[in-house]
Amino acid sequence: MLELEALRITRDDRLLVDLTLAIRPGQVVTIMGPSGSGKSTALAAITGTLAPAFARTGRIILNGNDISSLPTRLRRVGLMFQEPVLFPHLSVAGNLAFGLPSSVRGRQARQARIAAALASAGLDGLADRDPATLSGGQKARVALLRTLLAEPAALLLDEPFSRLDAALRAQIRQSVFDSARQAGIPTLLVTHDAEDARAAGGPVLSPLGGTLPL
C-alpha 39: how far from chain center: 13
Q: Shortest Cβ distance from residue 33 to other proteins (Å)?
A: 21
Among 49, 63, 174, 182, binds other proteins (CB under 8 A): 49
Contact 37, 31 (CB under 8 A): no
The dihedral built from the CA positions of residue 23, 49, 130 and 150, taken in this order, carries a sign that is negative
Max Cα separation, the chain?
54
What would the x/- binding string for other proteins be over residues 160 to 179, using CB under 8 A? Answer: --------------------
Q: Where are the alpha helices (DSSP H) in 100-135?
A: 107-120
Distance CA 45, CA 67 (A): 10
Instruction: Determine phi and psi for 150, rounding to 5 degrees.
Output: -75, 0
User: Which 143-162 residues touch other proteins, going by CB under 8 A?
Assistant: 146-147, 150, 152, 156
Which residues share a beta bridge with 189? Answer: 30, 157
What would the x/- binding string for other proteins be over residues 5 to 44, using CB under 8 A? Answer: ----------------------------------------
What would the x/- binding string for other proteins be over residues 54 to 83, using CB under 8 A? Answer: -----------------xxxxxxxxx-x-x
> Helix (H, G, I), strand (E, B), or coil: what is residue 76?
coil
Among 34, 36, 106, 132, binds other proteins (CB under 8 A): 132
Q: Shortest Cβ distance from residue 112 to other proteins (Å)?
A: 19
Among 89, 165, 166, 214, binds other proteins (CB under 8 A): 89
Total residues contacting other proteins by CB under 8 A comes to: 33
Q: For residue 19, how many other CB atoms are within 10 A of its CB?
A: 24
Q: Helices 136-149 and 166-183 meet at what angle, rounded to 10?
A: 10
Task: Give whichever of 146 and 169 is closer to other proteins, judged by the CB atom.
Answer: 146
Residues that bind other proteins (CB under 8 A): 47-49, 51-52, 71-79, 81, 83, 85, 87-89, 91, 98-99, 101, 130-133, 146-147, 150, 152, 156
